[in-house]
């Protein structure tokens, strides 16, 4: 009798596994040669809602900008501002008035045509109805008026290059005057895709817009599947339930995709500068020699090797290589512990103890260990204090500047501007940098490039922070997926050219 | 019996009231400001202050607490700081997913534990009993999330039999639903089965020593027949208590397993809520979990009374 009972248990377990195996195994058939109509992309960090006029965070524009919503202008693959819903634009001699000539025939997914009235409405609405902090980018606008159905005139209070750049971000997105009732769940834009469905906590599906004014996207349905856990996302690609891992969160795991007959790895750059910040407003960081000493004491390549498996670029200042004012400043402070010790002795602080308060993010925790041991070699004790991100880090380091050193990736595009703000958490107050960045903003394009470049160089020479490295854009995808954006230059994850064969 | 039920009900209600205080107090001392997190790194202090006023987090804690409990009584969980949606429907949505997971693994645990535990008891000196005991020890030692990770590595990634994660609602595609449910439910259920089997073993051993069972066997019944006819109902009493207590473990396990298997359940909602300092949402979810556990214990108590005639008269 007991043996019969045991037998029943054993057979039922085996039967369960076998039936599961049979039914699920059929999913892994060979992909057809022609272009597939569906594609699934794995992403980290799901949007809280679909309304980026009221919800901050990178996830909403990542999914919707360029795909569902379009602006008058966008960034091309090289980081240059090019027309999108505008056919072109002119700038007046005093650089305060922009005249946009709009594309004809573009329409919203609610069938309303896109006109200059909508453009003026969208720009004006940022100031009145948006609640996210980024709306401040529109403060410089004095008036936005439709002079005829295809001409929009925007007058600024003072010249601002950064305004035109911000028009490529979410605040430049064009909305329909009749399509803003339910932005949190039903976004209505002019883009090549429309929102088909969204299962919160799981997957968002975009469908190709049959009435799109421009080149139609090669894939009919793109699903954005959200993962909390990077390992789960990698597994999903390995088992074939997704086609693309949009950003590899643990570069150590890239080895899983080394079979080039099945997978491809795409490596580009991002806007994410991993900055080891100093609290520049208080001792000992008010002494430039201390800041320089720390920069000499750190072997940044060793930091990349530990924190991000050797992937990533050395930068040396707050500028990624895709910005027009990039220059390689990574060799300004080569690894030289002896020089570091000398500088510290000169500064009168041969032995230092610093509060190194970092967020509990994998790269920061890994990199901090390297930094700590290298600083110990030159006589600096770094007391690592790991803070939960975002809540605790934001409140203690970012808001209250209660730290000596910290470390975080600054992912906002063209964020060198934050160095002009003496109240920002690194409390860096340099009148020359502030002046240069202000002039860069109001000058011509050439002036903008020259002055921003100069500001970046001053920051680097002044050792205002230690720019450890630039995050790489690491994408893992099935072989046959084409058109993925190599570099991350804007807020959007551009799906308009992605296809799968 | 009526007095006993009344007493239990009073304890049940008082426990919930106490839980609201504890849950709220924990949220209040959690470092980090919801408004700061919601607005991110570009926020101005004015914007943060305005949002605090909108959320009502700038009011005294006592006012916030009373406000929250007041709405809870009417079934209103409030509005999420992050999504600006009603919390109630979100919780119900996610709870349904988690319930599938928990109930399936519970059923699985019972289906495995009752026969295995019975064999362990009847054969407690034999080889099969000892082998099963060792196996259950292993099952207890391995946490559900580790079992989950191993199951994914083997059955999904290596063999490709089952999906590595994700979720399909049963009404959308029943086959896919079952496929997605098997691994997480097994990861959760097997560990529970191992624990439960040991309780079943003890309960059955106790019953086997009872006089009425000896009588039954003396009348010619085999040990298993005697157990089935006279013993299992009595053995079910302590086991049902444990089962109720295990629900709490299951819910906690489900939170972790949901993350391993990318399941949009209550656990994922809770973890996201904590990370985003979506305090009202976290409070709501935790209260649902607390009430669920208390309710089960309460029901177990009631069941206990129903199963054991001795308690009805006392």
Asked whether the beta carbons of A420 and A162 are under 8 A apart, the reply is no
Model confidence band, residue A27 (pLDDT cutoffs 50, 70, 90)? very low
In a domain, B83, yes or no: no
Same domain membership, residue B127 and residue B185? yes
Q: Give the domain range for residue B40.
A: 2-73
Domain count, chain B: 2
Same domain membership, residue B95 and residue B68? no
Domain count, chain A: 2
pLDDT of A18 over the 60 cut = no
pLDDT of A1 over the 70 cut = no
- What mean pLDDT is predicted for residues A133-162? 95
Composition of chain A by helix, strand, coil, percent to 5: 35, 25, 45
In a domain, A53, yes or no: no
In a domain, B82, yes or no: no
Please tell me the distance from the alpha carbon of residue A166 to that of residue A171, in angstroms, as a whole number: 7
Nearest CA in chain B to A417: B42
Tell me what pLDDT residue B277 has.
86
Residue where a domain terminates, one of B73, B102, B132? B73
Same domain membership, residue B274 and residue B150? yes
pLDDT of A6 over the 50 cut = no
Asked whether the beta carbons of B289 and B98 are under 8 A apart, the reply is no
Same domain membership, residue B104 and residue B56? no
Between CA A415 and CA A422, with CA A421 as vertex, the angle to 5 degrees is 140
Any idea what DSSP says for residue A71? Answer: B
Same domain membership, residue B101 and residue B40? no
Same domain membership, residue B300 and residue B163? yes
Residue where a domain terminates, one of A163, A190, A217? A190
In a domain, A20, yes or no: no
B41 touches chain A (CB under 8 A): yes
Please tell me the distance from the alpha carbon of residue A187 to that of residue A197, in angstroms, as a whole number: 11
B268 touches chain A (CB under 8 A): yes
Same domain membership, residue B301 and residue B274? yes
Question: Could you report the per-residue pLDDT of B88-115, keeping only the tens digit for each?
Answer: 998 998 999 999 999 999 999 999 998 8
Same domain membership, residue A314 and residue A186? no
Tell me what pLDDT residue A424 has.
93
Tell me what pLDDT residue A34 has.
65
Same domain membership, residue A417 and residue A288? yes
Tell me what pLDDT residue A25 has.
37
Q: Which two tokens stand for residue B289?
A: 């979990």
Contact flag A55-B31 (C-beta cutoff 8 Å):
no
Of the partner residues B42, B115, B262, the one whose CB lies closest to the CB of residue A5: B115
- What mean pLDDT is predicted for residues A71-95? 94
Phi first, then psi: give them for residue B161, nearest 5 degrees.
Answer: -80, -40
Please tell me the distance from the alpha carbon of residue A9 to that of residue A12, in angstroms, as a whole number: 5
Pairing of strands A97-102, A151-156: antiparallel
Which of chain A's residues have a Cβ under 8 Å away from the Cβ of B163? Answer: 24, 239, 241
Higher model confidence: residue B152 or residue A377?
A377
pLDDT of A12 over the 80 cut = no
Tell me what pLDDT residue B309 has.
67
Which segments of chain B have a pLDDT < 70? Answer: 308-314
In a domain, B98, yes or no: yes
Task: Using alpha carbons, list the distances in angstroms from residue B219 to A2, B204, B215, B267.
Answer: 21, 20, 6, 52
Same domain membership, residue B245 and residue B284? yes
Tell me what pLDDT residue A471 has.
95
**Which uninterrupted H or E stretch holds A142?**
strand A141-148
Q: Residues 176 to 205 of A: which have CB under 8 A from any B CB?
A: 184, 199-202
In a domain, A202, yes or no: no
Please tell me the distance from the alpha carbon of residue A368 to that of residue A204, in angstroms, as a whole number: 36
- What mean pLDDT is predicted for residues A95-109? 96
Q: What is the CATH number of the domain that holds A138?
A: 3.90.76.10
Model confidence band, residue A215 (pLDDT cutoffs 50, 70, 90)? very high
Please tell me the distance from the alpha carbon of residue A356 to that of residue A385, in angstroms, as a whole number: 6
In a domain, A228, yes or no: no
Non-local CB neighbours of A36 within 8 Å, separated by 6+ positions: A219, A499, A500, A501
Q: Which two tokens stand for residue A339?
A: 């020089």
Please tell me the distance from the alpha carbon of residue A409 to that of residue A94, in angstroms, as a whole number: 37
Question: Could you report the per-residue pLDDT of A254-286, keeping only the tens digit for each?
Answer: 999 999 999 999 999 999 999 999 999 999 999
Asked whether the beta carbons of A357 and A397 are under 8 A apart, the reply is yes
Non-local CB neighbours of A142 within 8 Å, separated by 6+ positions: A96, A155, A156, A157
Secondary structure (3-state) at A465: strand
Nearest to A411 by CA among A212, A274, A238: A274
Composition of chain B by helix, strand, coil, percent to 5: 80, 0, 20
Q: Which two tokens stand for residue A18?
A: 């076998």
Non-local CB neighbours of B183 within 8 Å, separated by 6+ positions: B148, B151, B152, B155, B156, B162, B163, B261
Residues belonging to chain A: 501
Cis status of the peptide bond prior to A390, with omega within 30 of 0 = yes
**Neighbour count for residue B30 (Cβ, 10 Å):** 16
Tell me what pLDDT residue B51 has.
85
Same domain membership, residue B175 and residue B115? yes
A133 touches chain B (CB under 8 A): yes
Secondary structure (3-state) at A266: strand
Same domain membership, residue A468 and residue A331? yes
Pairing of strands A38-44, A244-245: parallel
Q: Residues 163 to 192 of B: which have CB under 8 A from any A CB?
A: 163-167, 175, 178-179, 182
Tell me what pLDDT residue B311 has.
64
CB-facing half-sphere around the CA of B229: CA atoms within 13 A: 14
Q: Which two tokens stand for residue A192?
A: 């090549």
B89 touches chain A (CB under 8 A): no
Same domain membership, residue B110 and residue B32? no
Residues belonging to chain B: 314
Please tell me the distance from the alpha carbon of residue B184 to that of residue B148, in angstroms, as a whole number: 6
Q: Which two tokens stand for residue A146?
A: 């439709």
Please tell me the distance from the alpha carbon of residue B201 to that of residue B126, in angstroms, as a whole number: 14
Of the partner residues A21, A225, A235, the one whose CB lies closest to the CB of residue B152: A235
Same domain membership, residue B146 and residue B104? yes
Of the partner residues B32, B112, B175, the one whose CB lies closest to the CB of residue A391: B32
Q: Against a cut of 0.90, is the pTM above it?
A: no
Give percent of chain A above pLDDT 70: 93
A444 touches chain B (CB under 8 A): no
Q: How far is CA B309 from the centre of its chain?
A: 29
Q: Which two tokens stand for residue A489?
A: 């230059």
Asked whether the beta carbons of A112 and A178 are under 8 A apart, the reply is yes
Contact flag A9-B116 (C-beta cutoff 8 Å):
yes
Same domain membership, residue B187 and residue B219? yes
Question: Could you report the per-residue pLDDT of A431-486, keeping only the tens digit for each?
Answer: 999 999 999 999 999 999 999 999 999 999 999 999 999 999 999 999 999 999 99
Model confidence band, residue A7 (pLDDT cutoffs 50, 70, 90)? very low
Asked whether the beta carbons of A473 and A484 are under 8 A apart, the reply is no
**Neighbour count for residue A145 (Cβ, 10 Å):** 15
pLDDT of A15 over the 70 cut = no
Task: Using alpha carbons, list the distances in angstroms from residue B1 to B145, B241, B307.
Answer: 42, 18, 13
Q: What is the CATH number of the domain that holds B134?
A: 1.10.3720.10
Contact flag A395-B179 (C-beta cutoff 8 Å):
no
Which of chain A's residues have a Cβ under 8 Å away from the Cβ of B83? Answer: 48-49, 55, 184
pLDDT of A187 over the 70 cut = yes
Q: Give the domain range for residue A160.
A: 73-190
Residue where a domain terminates, one of A153, A171, A190? A190
Tell me what pLDDT residue A431 has.
97
Please tell me the distance from the alpha carbon of residue A495 to that of residue A206, in angstroms, as a whole number: 10
Non-local CB neighbours of B210 within 8 Å, separated by 6+ positions: B231, B234
């Amino acid at each position: 009798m007991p043996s019969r009972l045991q037998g029943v248990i054993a057979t039922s377990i085996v039967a369960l596994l076998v039936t599961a195996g049979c039914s699920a195994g059929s999913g892994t058939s060979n992909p057809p040669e022609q272009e597939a109509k569906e594609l699934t992309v794995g992403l980290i960090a799901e949007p809280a809602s679909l309304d980026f006029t009221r919800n901050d965070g990178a996830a909403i524009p990542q999914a919707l900008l360029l795909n569902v919503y379009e602006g008058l202008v966008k960034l091309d693959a090289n980081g240059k501002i090019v027309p999108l819903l505008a056919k072109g634009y002119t700038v007046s001699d005093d650089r305060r008035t922009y005249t946009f000539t709009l594309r004809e025939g573009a329409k919203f997914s609610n069938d309303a045509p896109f006109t200059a009235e909508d453009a003026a409405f969208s720009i004006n609405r940022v100031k009145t109805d948006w609640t996210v902090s980024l709306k401040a980018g529109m403060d410089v606008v004095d008036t936005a008026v439709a002079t005829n159905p295809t001409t929009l005139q925007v007058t600024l209070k003072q010249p601002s290059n950064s305004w035109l750049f911000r028009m490529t971000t979410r605040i430049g997105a064009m909305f329909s005057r009749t399509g803003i009732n339910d932005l949190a769940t039903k976004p209505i834009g002019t883009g090549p895709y429309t929102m088909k469905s969204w299962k919160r906590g799981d997957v968002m599906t975009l469908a190709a817009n049959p009435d799109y004014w421009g080149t139609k996207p090669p894939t009919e349905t793109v699903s954005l599947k959200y993962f909390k856990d990077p390992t789960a996302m990698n597994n999903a690609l390995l088992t074939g339930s997704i086609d693309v891992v949009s950003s590899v969160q643990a570069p150590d795991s890239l080895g899983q995709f080394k079979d080039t007959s099945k997978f491809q790895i795409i490596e580009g750059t991002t806007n994410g500068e991993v900055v080891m910040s100093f609290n520049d407003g208080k001792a000992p960081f008010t002494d430039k020699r201390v800041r320089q000493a720390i920069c000499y004491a750190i072997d940044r390549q060793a930091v990349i090797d530990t924190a991000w498996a050797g992937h990533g670029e050395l930068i040396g200042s707050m500028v990624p290589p895709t910005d027009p004012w990039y220059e390689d400043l990574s060799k300004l402070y080569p690894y030289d512990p002896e020089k570091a010790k000398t500088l510290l002795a000169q500064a009168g602080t041969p032995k230092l103890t610093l509060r190194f308060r970092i967020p509990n993010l994998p790269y920061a925790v890994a990199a901090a260990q390297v930094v700590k041991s290298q600083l110990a070699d030159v006589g600096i004790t770094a007391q690592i204090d790991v803070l939960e991100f975002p809540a605790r880090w934001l409140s203690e380091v970012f808001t209250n500047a209660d730290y000596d050193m910290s470390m975080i990736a600054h992912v906002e595009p063209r964020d060198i501007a934050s160095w002009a703000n003496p109240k920002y958490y690194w409390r860096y107050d340099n009148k020359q940098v502030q002046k240069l960045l202000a002039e860069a903003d109001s000058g011509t394009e050439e002036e903008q490039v020259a002055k921003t470049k100069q500001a970046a160089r001053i920051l680097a020479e002044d050792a205002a922070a230690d720019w450890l490295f630039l995050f790489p854009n690491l994408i893992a995808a099935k072989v046959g997926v084409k058109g993925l954006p190599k570099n991350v230059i804007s807020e959007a994850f551009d799906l308009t050219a992605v296809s799968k064969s | 019996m009526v007095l006993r039920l009344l007493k239990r009900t009073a304890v049940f209600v008082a426990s919930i009231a106490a839980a609201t205080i504890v849950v709220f107090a924990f949220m209040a001392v959690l470092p980090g400001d919801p408004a700061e997190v919601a607005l991110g790194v570009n926020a101005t202090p004015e914007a943060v202050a305005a949002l605090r006023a909108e959320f009502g987090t700038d009011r005294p804690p006592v006012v916030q607490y009373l406000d929250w409990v007041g709405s809870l009584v009417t079934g209103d969980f409030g509005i999420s700081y992050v999504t600006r949606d009603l919390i109630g429907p979100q919780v119900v949505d996610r709870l349904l997913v988690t319930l599938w997971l928990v109930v399936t693994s519970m059923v699985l645990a019972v289906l495995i534990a009752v026969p295995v535990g019975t064999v362990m008891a009847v054969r407690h000196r034999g080889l099969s009993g000892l082998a099963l005991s060792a196996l259950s020890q292993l099952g207890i030692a391995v946490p559900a999330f580790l079992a989950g990770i191993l199951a994914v590595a083997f059955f999904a990634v290596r063999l490709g039999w089952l999906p590595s994660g994700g979720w399909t609602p049963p009404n959308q595609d029943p086959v896919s639903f079952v496929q997605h449910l098997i691994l997480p439910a097994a990861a959760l259920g097997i560990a529970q089965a191992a624990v439960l089997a040991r309780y079943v073993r003890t309960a059955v051993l106790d019953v086997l020593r009872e006089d009425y069972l000896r009588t039954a066997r003396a009348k010619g019944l085999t040990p298993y027949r005697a157990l089935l006819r006279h013993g299992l109902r009595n053995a079910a009493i302590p086991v049902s208590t444990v089962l109720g207590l295990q629900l709490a473990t299951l819910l906690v396990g489900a939170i972790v397993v949901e993350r391993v298997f990318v399941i949009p359940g209550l656990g994922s909602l809770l973890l996201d809520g904590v990370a985003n300092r979506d305090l009202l949402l976290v409070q709501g979810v935790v209260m649902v979990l607390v009430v669920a556990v208390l309710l089960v214990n309460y029901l177990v108590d009631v069941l206990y009374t129903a199963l054991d005639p001795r308690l009805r008269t006392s």
